[in-house]
Structure 1
Amino acid sequence: MTNLFDADQVRQALTTLHGGSAGFIHICSTGGWTGGTFTTDTSGLNAAVDYVRGLDAKGKAGIYARVTTLSRPLNPGERGAADLSLAFPGFWTDLDIAGPGHKTSAPLPPNVEEARRIVAESGLPEPTLLIHSGGGLYSWHLLDEPHLITPDTIAVISALSERFQQIVKASAERLGYEYGPVGDLPRVLRIPGTVNRKTKDPRPCFIMEGASGTTYPLAELAPLIFGIPLPEPKTPPAPAAALPFTQPRPVRDAEDGLSPGDDYNARATWDEILINRLGWTKLYTRSGVTYWRHPNATSDVSATTGRNDGDNLWVFSTNTQFEPQRVYDKFGAYTLLTRGSTSPAAFSGAGKELYAQGYGARRDRDDPRDLIVPAVEGNLALATVHQLHPEPQRPMPPAGLTPPVLPEEFWAARPMFGQIRQAAHSRLIAPDGVFGAVLARAAVRIDYRIMLRAIVGRPQPLNVFVALGGLSGGGKGASLDTASELLPFTNVDGHHIREISAGSGEGIVKKFFTRAEKKDDEGRGGGMEWQQTIHGILVRVDEGSMFGPLMKRQGQTTTETLRQAWSGERLGGSYADEDRGQQLAPHTYRLCVLLGIQPEIAGFLFDDTFGGLPQRFLWLAVQAPEMPDLDAIPAYPGRLDWAPPAVDLRGSDRLFVGVGELNRQFVDVAPEVEHEIRVAHLAQVTGRAAADPLDGHANLSRLKVAAILGALDGRIAVSVEDWALAGMVMATSTAVRRWMQARVKATEAESRKARNIAHVEREVMAEDAKANARVVRMAKRAHKYVGQILDAGEKATYRAVNRKFGGTEKDGVNAAIDHALEMDWIRRDGEAFALGESVPR
């Protein structure tokens, strides 16, 4: 019997779907389904191919790979639920084709062509990859890069996958075929190169030709998937306005001062809303998150409550009274179900209804108004209810143009923060950008011998990198200049500072050194040598557009130097002679970076995610949604009254760094903070918590920020309050970074679209040129054929001329004759043709 197994196809398929992705590939087969897990690097792929080869040698009826990678290897007997999914490569279909192996009476497409037609007429773009499963068709719409699934995004990805399947199902039904949705994240599909042995005649599973090969950004594909309409459900839910709703419980004491919405949120329960009146099913609760299913559900989970320690309803299903991909608090759900809308007017009306029932009567105003403020986090449109005060509300900025900013409670926490904000407002620039620049300048001024002790890992310096992101003209340079006025550099004994612009790695290191006379132990001169005279350097880059080309230059060492400098590692080449360069020993310097950058050009930073550079940056915005009115601009408050705490090396700790022992003073960190850091680190190391690669240094960055905030408060210590304030900074940094990434992806998508359009236009022009040349050639031959027919004494009818052209040219005869007539190479003579006045050259 011919061996149908193809190891090359197995390798190609696994590499295409999961090669280099985060997590572990899961291979399984009939007769057990638990299988084995493998890493996604070359050695792991080799091992996976060998494992598949072994399963084939055992004659397994089917050998499969999971569509998503796993966040950890499976335990014996474990198959891996959805919550273990880590990397999502794209969207798939599993279309059965009529024939042996399918135990169903439902109508199935009779052949591959009809199965492909289901996908082609669904409204989805061309598939990236087509696979014949030996009994059906798999199509893949692969993402341009796998999407990392987190506890916060699994619901969104699941909802997208479910809707993708519903789109294919609807297309199949329009064509008269049956399709069962298979969008669950633990789904396994047969591996190309293996053999389908479900029937007595083994059939190969193989990669087909004819697919587009195009991959798609999730940011482009997701709106398309949600934009394709689906047919109305066969049993539509009752109109929202007609649904009964739980009546409010007895009125709380009005002295609370709560609004009706706040009071309802505090006292209503999701069981009352979802179970008692809507008939939903509570499936289970895990890690504080409750999973729900509605009566018309086509999948297991329709929504969750309790995610991210909140008391909101996260809706994924497209077949409920609620809008999909939305988050509702209880008052928002109440408003939708009783008013049929979540418009501002509906919120106001719902609030008045609850007021009439005595809910939370406020003493300070009689006619409260409500506003729904949309915000965007990942792929979810969040809605939160904000109570308005009587003063006019500022209009919301256009979606996506304004990045997240530090919260009001941060600015109110300490007088120095208020002074920084006042300085920014006096210059009409964003406070966050000025604060970020002050933070970096303060870090440079703190003596390099002050360090963080090894709470986890190794000791760390207070070296920080700050990226100030904003649109063109947002005030990046002005933020840096204002910070330098607020906190100018001053040198102290043992810690000299300078500010430089970006350069190569060797160039940055060289700025710590000057040429000086070399002296022996007795003070006698002996030539010149490089000596470290600078201990703190601030690398200032006003425009990231200058930094990008430098980082991409072949052979550059800038990114490597910056990554090492953030951790205080040895800097400089392996050489260190008087002519070629210098070396900085570990922890003998302070190096900080201030980078102003526009989101549209920040892609080069995120390109180094796996190298580790972007996760070392603190991200803050140089734009602000709230600024004082022009008639209320404050005066510039003057310099900050601050000097860094003096280093005290008496009785200091000793740090061994491989070049001897160094005297160092370690920052005193509150025990509660140390415990929190260790607990989080242990969860990550043991695999109990999965982190975004860009959050790999989040707690260390937060500790550095907390230590600098402590120093700004006059202490070489981190208090619980410092840690909490640093948490606000890091939360804002994460939000700004995601905003930057979204802008980068949007810009890249536009660039790809423009390139694609230009490519298509070039192709069309080329095809037009080819077609035109073909028409001209055939028109000349039409003139020739008319002459030949007339010379033979026959009538040059259309049929006679047409017969002269070959079979592959028939589609171009009409255009050729029209062109020949236009050029007067031939002319009409009744129902036939005659030669014209012109002769083709």
Structure 2
Amino acid sequence: MMDTSYNDMDAALAGLSAASDGPTFAQVKALARAGFHVLLIKPGTKEPVDLRTDRERAHDARTGRGGSGLYSSTNRVDRLENLWDRAVAKFGQEPNVAVDVERSGLVVIDADQADETADVQRRGLAGADAPLEAYAPTVTTPGAQDAAGKWVHSGGGHFHFAVDVEDLPLVKSFKLPGGAEVSTKDRYVLIPPSVRNEGPYTVTGHVRPLSSAPWLIDLIRAQAETDEADTTARAQAAQDRTQRRESEGPSSVEAWNDAHPWEELLLEHDWTPTGKPDNCGCPIVTAPGDHASPKSATAHEDGCTNRRVDLEGASGPLHIWTDHPPVELEGRERWTKAQFVAAMRGQTMEEFLVAEGLVDDEVDPAAMAFAVNGEAGGKGPVVRDLTVDEEEAFWASSAALERVRQFAWSRSASPWSVLGVVLCEVVARVPPHVVLPPIVGGAASLNLFVNLVGASGEGKGKSVATAEDLTSGLSYAAHKGIGSGEGITKTFGVRKKGSQVTLRVRDRAVVDSPEVDTLTAVAERKASTILGQLRKAWSGEDLSFNNADESRSPEVPKHSYRLALHVGVQPGRARALFEDADGGTPQRFLWLSTLDPLIPDADVPEPPPLDLAHIEKRWPTDPFLTGEALLFADDEEEEESTPRRDDGVLRKPTTFEVLEVAQPIRDTIRRNDKAKHWRKATDSALDGHRGLQRLKVAAALSLLEGGTGNVTVDHWDRAELVLRRSDAVRAQVQGVLQDQDRKAAEARAKRNAEAEVAKDRATQGLKLAQTRKRVHKVLGKPEHADGLPLGKLRAEVGSAYRDHINETVDFLVEAGELVEVPGGKAPKYRLVGTA
């Protein structure tokens, strides 16, 4: 808890509002005396400057504050005065000013955009009859422009809350559902009268006591619980990695990482070390060329304390901060060592792995398409699953995704499988005339299929129920069970007996198959069309089928229906889907697990359901299209129950609403498609539809996150993480099936071997019986009554029996049918009872 009252801080900030020519030291002194810990910022920027002497820095280091940036903040007036004078001397003008959030005893909400500001205001005024302006930001920020002068942030502000409650946990920054960011530590914010090129920071509101925002306190405490669970999961993941490396040794890529520190790789490509560490202790480096800030990137290595860095073989990522990295590195913030070197060389990852000798150059490229870190996703094909940090970054990338994970955890369900069903529910509310653009071929449907993968009793039903509650605010959409191929068609259109006109039943539906056995049982029926119809439905193609009676053959035209499908899949029961890989069935599904090893031990508070009103607002529900008001039931024998306002005929749409897709994504899709023509693509057979699948998921994420379905690069990048998780789960299912195949082959081999042994024994027994009979015949002759030596006995029995004579004689002696008679150079053998 802070030592000074929020009234002192509020008064100190209010005293800044009259300034117009930048900060003065008198104002800074007032801030420090009110309890703010101040740090100085380079004039016109947000870049902190550390003007402490070596002696001052060494003194601070002994108290754990030897770093730069935030570590230079202080509320000592005498030190601030010295630092201020040094800054004015260095820059020839007064510096900008910021405050250290944690040391000042603050919680700060940073809203970058006007809608984020309004979201915080609505939360602060919940239950009060007051305009939003009554809950103004403490500080209104000037916004931000890109290099071309376009405003990328505007209408934002900082809401300051003085901590006046006991035992408030310090948590990492997190975002509110509306997009604003909450910070309690490791953060500084600029305050008035600081000025940047875009304009000044101005005081427009008050410093509020945190106790006045119980909603914010609850969110902070919930985040603390999530952080604790995350810390435990990371520690376990690190321990597992260490144990694996100790027992199995490093993988080839890990060994390469160990042997190539970031300093070596970066210097080779003209990056420059700044000599300064980031807060985690890893070096800050500057990219080639001119940059406004020397902090172009942070090169994370072994021993890094950054929570968001996942170490593999002493290799954390290179985290790019600059907006102007080398062109080879544009479009991505984090690069592993292997990815960095491959990109700088202009190589694909496969080419890099082969060039470095990390894989055999005869390995099928498709088998290593995702082997960036040399790790396998289970016993199936080599697939790079998400690291813990990549998964954390995915869920933290939007307020809606954070809500999905928290809601799933509150119900003890897997966030991934819940997300799969949520995406189905969202897509099912989008009319079928809304399509993806014809980037390659024709316009593409948003229809989406998801496999929820888990053993019996591992949460498929729980995931569906959780997702339905999470999306309870959505309008009506029919939910149907799986049936035949004809049944899929009749979900959307039927014909009355004697008619050749297809009547519309509905234009959107969610189909649920709790067990994959139901789907595969239908597929295995003679002349079944279910898998073929599903493949066409995923693509939004015509769903017509032939029947001798045309009145029983409804025609459902292309893009006249919306279908979302989720199927419960037990890994060992998925064989029929993979056997249809040539037809393209497994490729059209997302594969998401119903188990989540990162689920916290402690109970997670349940947040409110998702706010998806924007979907209904954009595409209002028409009960005559969704099937909520049916012309007739699915049973075509029933009579009409509700009159239509149109003729009810199902027709192909004549106008379409085409979603927008960012140009870089279009370029990537076209480039990948051309690679197939040039036979340079490395996709495996199971990834033939990966680009379109990724585009569908990106559009669904856009809708989930409050967008219009238009796909940005951010949505495209997040969709890639979903597909990487899907690839890994699918590979694990393949591993289970391969393990079944191996065990079955071993069992067959064992049965065959046992049969061969039995057959051999039977053959041997027959030969022995025949030889025994021959020995009795030979030795039963009167002239051999005194017996025969073994050599002569062998000659007498004949060639057909000689191979078994030794063991037959031994057996007959042991059985008491022959007796050995000593004499001469070799003993003789005669029948018992003869002389």
State whether residues 818 and 831 of structure 2, in contact with CA within 8 Å, keep that contact through their aligned partners in structure 1: yes
Amino acid at match of 1:679: R
Q: Flag the 1:688–1:578 CA change in 2: closer, same or farther, 3 A.
A: closer
Sequence identity percentage: 29
Q: Give the drift of 1:308.
A: 6.4
Q: Flag the 1:323–1:588 CA change in 2: closer, same or farther, 3 A.
A: closer
Mapped pair 1:306 → 2:306: no
Distance across 2 between alignment mates of 1:576 and 1:704: 36
Mapped pair 1:636 → 2:606: yes
Mapped pair 1:678 → 2:670: yes
State whether residues 498 and 536 of structure 1, in contact with CA within 8 Å, keep that contact through their aligned partners in structure 2: no
Mapped pair 1:430 → 2:414: yes
1:18-37 to structure 2, matched below 5 A, reads: none
Q: Give the drift of 1:744.
A: 2.8
Q: Give the drift of 1:411.
A: 0.6
Distance across 1 between alignment mates of 2:469 and 2:339: 50
The equivalent residue for 1:693 is 685
Distance across 1 between alignment mates of 2:354 and 2:725: 26
Specify the SS of the correspondent of 1:539. Answer: strand
> What does the per-residue CA deviation read over 1:299-357, in whole Å, with 9 as the maximum and x for residues that have no partner?
xxxx999336799997779xxxx99769xxxxxxxxxxxxxxxxxxxxxxxxxxxxxxx
Q: Give the drift of 1:822.
A: 4.3
Distance across 1 between alignment mates of 2:417 and 2:619: 32
The equivalent residue for 2:468 is 484
The equivalent residue for 2:744 is 751
The equivalent residue for 1:47 is none
Q: 1:811 aligns with which of 803, 816, 830?
A: 803
Where does the alignment leave 5 or more consecutive residues of structure 1 unmatched? Answer: 1-226, 228-239, 269-286, 290-302, 327-375, 385-395, 519-525, 650-657
1:790-829 to structure 2, matched below 5 A, reads: 790-829=782-821
Mapped pair 1:832 → 2:832: no
Q: 1:497 aligns with which of 473, 478, 481?
A: 478
Specify the SS of the correspondent of 2:654. Answer: strand
Mapped pair 1:730 → 2:723: yes
> What does the per-residue CA deviation read over 1:450-497, in whole Å, with 9 as the maximum and x for residues that have no partner?
2223122011211111122345543233222322232359666xxx52
> What does the per-residue CA deviation read over 1:8-48, in whole Å, with 9 as the maximum and x for residues that have no partner?
xxxxxxxxxxxxxxxxxxxxxxxxxxxxxxxxxxxxxxxxx
1:558-573 to structure 2, matched below 5 A, reads: 558-573=530-545
Distance across 2 between alignment mates of 1:647 and 1:661: 18
Q: 1:411 aligns with which of 375, 395, 407?
A: 395
State whether residues 447 and 647 of structure 1, in contact with CA within 8 Å, keep that contact through their aligned partners in structure 2: no
Specify the SS of the correspondent of 2:655. Answer: strand
The equivalent residue for 1:508 is 488
> What does the per-residue CA deviation read over 1:614-672, in whole Å, with 9 as the maximum and x for residues that have no partner?
2211222223231212xx221333533324345669xxxxxxxx976523322233334
Mapped pair 1:475 → 2:497: no
State whether residues 380 and 738 of structure 2, in contact with CA within 8 Å, keep that contact through their aligned partners in structure 1: no
Amino acid at match of 2:750: I
State whether residues 453 and 667 of structure 1, in contact with CA within 8 Å, keep that contact through their aligned partners in structure 2: yes
Q: Give the drift of 1:581.
A: 4.0
State whether residues 379 and 731 of structure 2, in contact with CA within 8 Å, keep that contact through their aligned partners in structure 1: no
The equivalent residue for 2:756 is 763
Q: Give the drift of 1:591.
A: 1.8
Specify the SS of the correspondent of 1:620. Answer: strand
The equivalent residue for 1:220 is none
The equivalent residue for 2:734 is 741
Amino acid at match of 1:833: Y
Distance across 2 between alignment mates of 1:770 and 1:557: 51
> What does the per-residue CA deviation read over 1:510-535, in whole Å, with 9 as the maximum and x for residues that have no partner?
3334677x9xxxxxxx9998733122
Which has the larger strand fraction? Answer: 1
Amino acid at match of 2:278: D
State whether residues 305 and 314 of structure 1, in contact with CA within 8 Å, keep that contact through their aligned partners in structure 2: no
Q: Flag the 1:703–1:398 CA change in 2: closer, same or farther, 3 A.
A: closer
Q: Flag the 1:834–1:689 CA change in 2: closer, same or farther, 3 A.
A: closer
The equivalent residue for 1:721 is 714
State whether residues 576 and 582 of structure 1, in contact with CA within 8 Å, keep that contact through their aligned partners in structure 2: no
Distance across 1 between alignment mates of 2:676 and 2:669: 11
Distance across 2 between alignment mates of 1:683 and 1:421: 37
Q: Flag the 1:305–1:591 CA change in 2: closer, same or farther, 3 A.
A: closer
> What does the per-residue CA deviation read over 1:670-725, in whole Å, with 9 as the maximum and x for residues that have no partner?
33433333333334334454432222222211111111122222414223322222
> What does the per-residue CA deviation read over 1:587-631, in whole Å, with 9 as the maximum and x for residues that have no partner?
2111222122233333332222221112211222223231212xx
Q: Give the drift of 1:420.
A: 1.4
Distance across 1 between alignment mates of 2:519 and 2:833: 68
Specify the SS of the correspondent of 1:807. Answer: coil
State whether residues 779 and 785 of structure 2, in contact with CA within 8 Å, keep that contact through their aligned partners in structure 1: no
Specify the SS of the correspondent of 1:662. Answer: coil
Amino acid at match of 2:468: S
> What does the per-residue CA deviation read over 1:522-574, in whole Å, with 9 as the maximum and x for residues that have no partner?
xxxx9998733122233322332443343344422111111111111111322
State whether residues 605 and 614 of structure 1, in contact with CA within 8 Å, keep that contact through their aligned partners in structure 2: yes
1:50-449 to structure 2, matched below 5 A, reads: 252-259=274-281, 266=299, 306-307=341-342, 382=373, 404=385, 407-449=391-433
Q: Which has the higher contact order (CA 8 A, sep 6+)?
A: 2
Of stretches 615-624 and 574-583 in structure 1, the one that deviates more from structure 2 is: 574-583
Q: Flag the 1:754–1:412 CA change in 2: closer, same or farther, 3 A.
A: same
Q: 2:580 aligns with which of 608, 633, 648?
A: 608
Q: Give the drift of 1:412.
A: 0.8
1:9-20 to structure 2, matched below 5 A, reads: none
TM-score (norm 1): 0.50
The equivalent residue for 2:770 is 777
State whether residues 541 and 594 of structure 1, in contact with CA within 8 Å, keep that contact through their aligned partners in structure 2: yes
Amino acid at match of 1:257: N
Distance across 2 between alignment mates of 1:428 and 1:762: 51
Of stretches 426-435 and 470-479 in structure 1, the one that deviates more from structure 2 is: 470-479
Amino acid at match of 1:508: I
Q: Flag the 1:380–1:717 CA change in 2: closer, same or farther, 3 A.
A: closer
Q: Flag the 1:799–1:403 CA change in 2: closer, same or farther, 3 A.
A: same
Q: Flag the 1:753–1:829 CA change in 2: closer, same or farther, 3 A.
A: same
State whether residues 516 and 574 of structure 2, in contact with CA within 8 Å, keep that contact through their aligned partners in structure 1: yes
> What does the per-residue CA deviation read over 1:103-128, in whole Å, with 9 as the maximum and x for residues that have no partner?
xxxxxxxxxxxxxxxxxxxxxxxxxx
State whether residues 783 and 820 of structure 1, in contact with CA within 8 Å, keep that contact through their aligned partners in structure 2: no
Q: Flag the 1:532–1:819 CA change in 2: closer, same or farther, 3 A.
A: farther
> What does the per-residue CA deviation read over 1:708-767, in whole Å, with 9 as the maximum and x for residues that have no partner?
122222414223322222222223223333333334323322322222222222222222
Q: Give the drift of 1:399.
A: 8.7
> What does the per-residue CA deviation read over 1:498-521, in whole Å, with 9 as the maximum and x for residues that have no partner?
2213x32123223334677x9xxx
Q: Flag the 1:793–1:695 CA change in 2: closer, same or farther, 3 A.
A: closer
Distance across 2 between alignment mates of 1:575 and 1:489: 41
State whether residues 495 and 552 of structure 2, in contact with CA within 8 Å, keep that contact through their aligned partners in structure 1: no
Q: Flag the 1:418–1:476 CA change in 2: closer, same or farther, 3 A.
A: same
TM-score (norm 2): 0.50
Distance across 1 between alignment mates of 2:470 and 2:666: 32
Mapped pair 1:702 → 2:672: no
State whether residues 441 and 538 of structure 1, in contact with CA within 8 Å, keep that contact through their aligned partners in structure 2: yes
Q: Give the drift of 1:773.
A: 2.2
State whether residues 648 and 665 of structure 1, in contact with CA within 8 Å, keep that contact through their aligned partners in structure 2: no
Q: Flag the 1:665–1:572 CA change in 2: closer, same or farther, 3 A.
A: same
Distance across 2 between alignment mates of 1:565 and 1:695: 18
Amino acid at match of 1:736: V
Specify the SS of the correspondent of 1:435. Answer: helix
The equivalent residue for 1:662 is 654
